[in-house]
Structures are given as C-alpha cells and as structure tokens.
Amino acid sequence: MSGKDTSRQKLQIAIVGSGPSGFYAAEALLRSGRNVSIDMIERLPTPYGLVRSGVAPDHPKLKQSIAVYDGIARDENFSFFGNVAAGRDVSIGELQGTHHAVLLACGAHEDRPLAIPGVGLAGSHSATEFVGWYNGHPDFRDRSFDLSHDVAVVIGQGNVAADVCRILAKPVDDLRESDIAEHALNALAESKIKEVHVVGRRGPAHAKFTAKELRELGGIAGVTAHAKPEECVLNDESRIELEDRANFNAAKNLEHFVKFAEQIETSGRRKIRFRFCLSPTALLGKDRVEAICLVRNRLDGPPFSQKARATDQTETIPCGLVLRSIGYRGVPLCGVPFDDTGGVVPNAAGRVMDGGKRLRGLYVTGWLKRGPTGIIGTNRADSIETVENLLADASEAETKSGVDALRPLLAERGVRWVSFAEWLKIDAAEIERGKKRGKPREKFTRIDEMLDLLAR
Ligand code: NAP
C-alpha cells in the first residue's frame, strides 16, 4: 500500500482483536497515506475472529473475506501478536503508553442473559456455546450437547438462530465436506433430533432472519419447515410495517412463513417449526431440561415499535435441548469505560467517551462500538469511520516505541506470542489435515496442539 508520507515518525497503532472490524481498521490505516505501524493483538493463536469461529461451516462463501485479511496481514507495516490477551498479558493502559492510539475491536462475545427459572439446567445452552463447539473454538471444544432427544428448541429468530437450527436439522452428510470440527460431526451423526422449534417473542413480521437464510431453512433435503397459519395472521400495525419498501426483507420472510404454514405434515422427515409471539418463562426438568414453558404474547405499540406483552395463555413444549440465541453483548475491559445496558464501549463515532469526556488515544470499532448488528461487510464502513477520527486526532510529534516496546514487554513476561508467519504454519497444517478427510481444513481445537506444532 503505497504513497505514504515517510518524513515523520511512524504512527504506532495497537489493534485489539483480529476479527473483521480489526482487519478493516488495519486496512483503512494502511490505505490512509499516513506512515503507520500496526500491532494486532489477539487472544487466540489464530486470527479472523467470528469469520473463523462464528460463520457456519456450510456457508464457506462468507469466509472469503479471509483472503482480504490475509493480504492486509502480509503488509510490512503490520505485525500479528496471537496468543496474547489484552488485560492478561498486557493492559490497555500499557498499550496506550507504547502506542499513539489503541483501537479496540474485540467484538461482543458474551450472551445476552435470559433470566428464567431452569436456565442453568443441563441441556440448556447459549447458541454461542453451540456455534463455538461446531466451529472448533478452543473455549468450547469440550462442551457436550445431548442430541439423544426428539425435540430441540431454539429461542430467538435472528441469523444465529438460523445457523444453529440448520446445523441441527441438516443431514450430517451435507456437512461432511465442510470445515465443521470433527467432534461435532461425529456427535451430529448420532443425533436423534426430529424436530427443531424456532421460537420468536414477536410476530412473523419481526423475525430478524435475512430472507435468504430463511429460504435455505425451507429447502433442506429431507427436512420440512412448518408454521401455524393462525400465527401468521398479521395485526394492522404489522401490515403497515410490511408496506414500507425499506422493510422488504420482512415482507419476503412473511412469504416464506406463509408457504411453511401450507406445508403438509409428513412423517419420517425432520421438521423445523417456526413459532411466533411466544416468550420462554421457565425450563422444566429434574436433572436436565425436559420441557420449556412459554407464554403467549400480544403485540403492543405503534408500527415499528411493537413490543411483546405477555397474556395469560401458556404452552409447554416437551424437549431435551434448548439453545438460547437472543443476541450478544460486549465484555468490559479493565480500565475502559463500559455501557452495561448496551453492552458496548461508550463512544462518539469510535472515539471512546467517559461520561462527556473523550479519552485520548482510545478508539473502538465493530460490535463493541455499535452492538451486535449487521453482516461482516458492515464492519468496513464502521472501521473506516473510527480510523478517520483516530487519524484526525493522532500526532506523530509524540515519540512512541510501538512494537519495539511491546516485544520486550511480552518477552519479559514469558508470553509465547504467535506471529503471522507462525499462523500460516498452523493454517497449512489444518489444510493438510482436512485433505485426508475431504474437508477444506481440519481445525486445531486446542491451543496446546497449535503451540506444539510450532515447537516442532
Ligand atoms: P439478532 O439478529 O439481533 O436476533 C436476536 C433475536 O433474539 C431476535 O429474534 C430477538 O427478538 C430475540 N430476542 C432478544 N431478546 C430476547 C428475549 N429476552 N426473549 C426472547 N427473544 C429475544 O441477533 P443474532 O441472531 O445473534 O445475530 C447477530 C448479528 O449477526 C445480526 O446482525 C445477524 O444478521 C448477524 N449474522 C449474520 C449471519 C449471516 O449473514 N449469515 C449469520 C449469523 C449472524 P426481537 O426482535 O423481539 O428483539
């Protein structure tokens, strides 16, 4: 990336997190024409965040952005520090001391809580755990999911719910040539699940699936998608919402739900059942989940602000697995302001704010900045905005050592960081392991395995 002004000292920038928002920020910095040096710090030895461990294995096209990130990482002004946790191995305050600016791009990896009785029973999990498990994320590889029951219930109707529903419902043979973790493939091969209920607290006009994802759920071989005709009837407010052309995705979703409501029940096929206007109130079971209690909601409020209000009607669905997919929140970082209600770092267009005060040299991007919304590409514009403000504020006049201070600091603490060249070694080994199984890669799912490979 050329045309740089090399007359002044380099701007030393630390980016914390190596998912899409971190890489798009690095790209914007490298393209800015300013003379920058970027140190990207990542807790895992592997880069790419949710593109590696969140995107569903049967959606390989969504992982193509990795080629762009790989190109960015090969820039001579970019260094990757994998296996380094900000807050554990190096503090944000220390990075502020060594770098002109610290850009937080750590995402939102905690689940929004669902505080209902029984939520802690065995068989009740967050979608995060399930997604991390089938994608081979080291934090979740030892989780186990009991797939020996007939019925699973997914709470929430966003694209993460669509992903977990699809992985539960799909014939396992359709996943064999994906990069799904082997332990998950083996467990799914033994799955006895016959029905997946996908429960929304509001109506069919409010499901957050993108229509493409919903259509895919209706087209899985050997699986039928159903909805209840009476739950697909819209109130006047929802009809007004769907008349708005900007809301075309919801209108398309409704078309799919209406089709699903016309499907004839056939025995011997797995079923996905979309349910609406139901909120979970409790999970029942002695030692593990045996049923979920739901309350029927009515919709209340004007178009585009309709809320779910509980009625006195209830329903119980016997089930053996519950996956909660109701969104994410960011995790507070030591020394960084945090908005606990929104689950984000308070900011003004990416500049971190403490009360009304701007914190010098501290920036945020991605889900930690705006909350868990949008697709991978949404992060590009978001990161460009943050980087524009960072560069407007930054001054090369102040001397900062950047990587020359970071390396000795980590070495002194015995931190075994993983460079980008070392990641490429892990990458090549994963691809090689995958070849033997007809998969694009077989991921290493333990950090020790990765470090052992590098020690060889
Ligand atoms: P999401 O799209 O915000 O969906 C969250 C769902 O949970 C909504 O149906 C919401 O209902 C429901 N919910 C929230 N609180 C609830 C509660 N207390 N009780 C019951 N239901 C509740 O979030 P997500 O599915 O986690 O996805 C996060 C982002 O990643 C989205 O932007 C998504 O599009 C993106 N993503 C994209 C892809 C893809 O492109 N293929 C794949 C995965 C994720 P309300 O509407 O009533 O709040």
Using CA atoms, how far residue 446 sits from 41, 133, 296, in Å, is 19, 12, 43
pTM over 0.85: yes
Pick the CATH number of 113-326 from 3.50.50.60, 3.20.20.140, 2.40.50.140, 3.20.20.150: 3.50.50.60
Any ligand 1 atom below 6 A from CB of 201 = yes
Residue 200 CB less than 6 A away from ligand 1:
yes
- Please state the atom number of ligand 1 nearest to the C-alpha of residue 210: 34
Distance 105 CA to ligand 1 centre (A): 20
Cβ 304 under 6 angstroms from ligand 1:
no
189 contact partners, CB below 8 Å, separation of at least 6? 172
pLDDT at residue 397 in the model: 87
Atom of ligand 1 nearest to the CA of 161: 25
- Which tokens hold the place of 49? 């965040």
User: For residue 204, how far is its CA from the centre of ligand 1 (angstroms)?
Assistant: 14
Residue 162 alpha carbon to ligand 1 centre in Å = 9
326 lines ligand 1 (CB under 6 A): yes
pLDDT value for 3: 56
pLDDT for res 266: 87
3-state secondary structure the chain: CCCCCCCCCCEEEEEECCCHHHHHHHHHHHCCCCCEEEEEECCCCCCCHHHHHCCCCCCHHHHCHHHHHHHHHCCCCEEEEECCCECCCECHHHHHHHCCEEEECCCCCEECCCCCCCCCCECEEEHHHHHHHHCCCCCCCCCCCCCCCCEEEEECCCHHHHHHHHHHHCCHHHCCCCCCCHHHHHHHHCCCCCEEEEECCCCCCCCCCCHHHHHHHCCCCCEEEEECHHHHCCCHHHHHHHHCHHHHHHHHHHHHHHHHHHCCCCCCCEEEEEECCEEEEEEECCCECCEEEEEEEEEECCCCCCEEEEEEEEEEEECCEEEECCCEECCCCCCCCCECCCCECCEECCEEEECCEEEEEEEECCHHHHCCCCCCCHHHHHHHHHHHHHHHHCCCCCCCCCHHHHHHHHHHCCCCCECHHHHHHHHHHHHHHHHCCCCCCCCCCCHHHHHHHHHC
User: Using an 8 Å Cβ cutoff, are 81 and 410 in contact?
Assistant: yes
- Name the residue among 211, 224, 169, 198 with its Cα closest to residue 56: 169
CA distances from 355 to 80, 336, 346 (A): 33, 12, 8
Q: Are 379 and 20 in contact (CB under 8 A)?
A: yes
Q: Cα separation of 377 and 374, whole Å?
A: 8
Verify whether ligand 1 is closer than 6 Å to residue 325 (CB atom).
Answer: yes
Q: Whose CA is nearest to atom 13 of ligand 1?
A: 326
249 lines ligand 1 (CB under 6 A): no
Distance from the alpha carbon of residue 160 to the mean position of ligand 1, in angstroms = 6
Q: Cα separations (Å) of 376 from 103, 118, 274, 418?
A: 18, 34, 26, 25
Q: How far, in Å, is the centroid of ligand 1 from the Cα of 157? A: 6
Other Cβ atoms within 10 Å of 250 Cβ, number: 20
| Cβ–ligand 1 contact at 327 (below 6 Å) | yes
CA 390, CA 375: separation in Å to the nearest integer?
Answer: 23
Whether 131 is in the pocket of ligand 1, judged by its Cβ within 6 Å, is no
> How many other C-beta atoms can be found within 10 angstroms of the C-beta atom of residue 171?
14
* pLDDT at site 268: 79
Strand partners, 308: 299
Task: For domain 11-109+329-418, give the fold.
Answer: Rossmann fold (3.40.50)
Domain extent listing, the chain: 11-109+329-418, 113-326
pLDDT of 2: 46
Contact 257, 198 (CB under 8 A): no
Among candidate residues 322, 224, 227, 337, the one with its CA nearest the CA of residue 280 = 322
Q: What is the end-to-end Cα distance of the chain in Å, rounded?
A: 34
Nearest-CA residue for ligand 1 atom 7 is 326
Say if ligand 1 is within 6 A of residue 371 CB: no
Residue 160 beta carbon below 6 angstroms from any ligand 1 atom:
yes
* Residue 206 Cβ contacting ligand 1 at under 6 Å: yes
The pLDDT score that the predictor gives to residue 177 is: 97
Residues 397 and 285: their CA atoms lie apart, in Å, by: 64
Q: For the chain, 456 residues long, give each residue's pLDDT as a single digit of tens.
A: 445 655 568 999 999 999 999 999 999 999 999 999 999 999 999 999 999 999 999 999 999 999 999 999 999 999 999 999 999 999 999 999 999 999 999 999 899 999 999 999 999 999 999 999 999 999 999 999 999 999 999 999 999 999 999 999 999 999 999 999 999 999 999 999 999 999 999 999 999 999 999 999 999 999 999 999 999 999 999 999 999 999 999 999 999 999 999 999 888 789 999 999 999 999 999 999 999 999 999 999 999 999 999 999 999 999 999 999 999 999 999 999 999 999 999 999 999 999 999 999 999 999 999 999 999 999 999 999 999 999 999 988 889 999 999 999 999 999 999 999 999 999 999 999 999 999 999 999 999 999 999 999
Supply the pLDDT for residue 7: 58
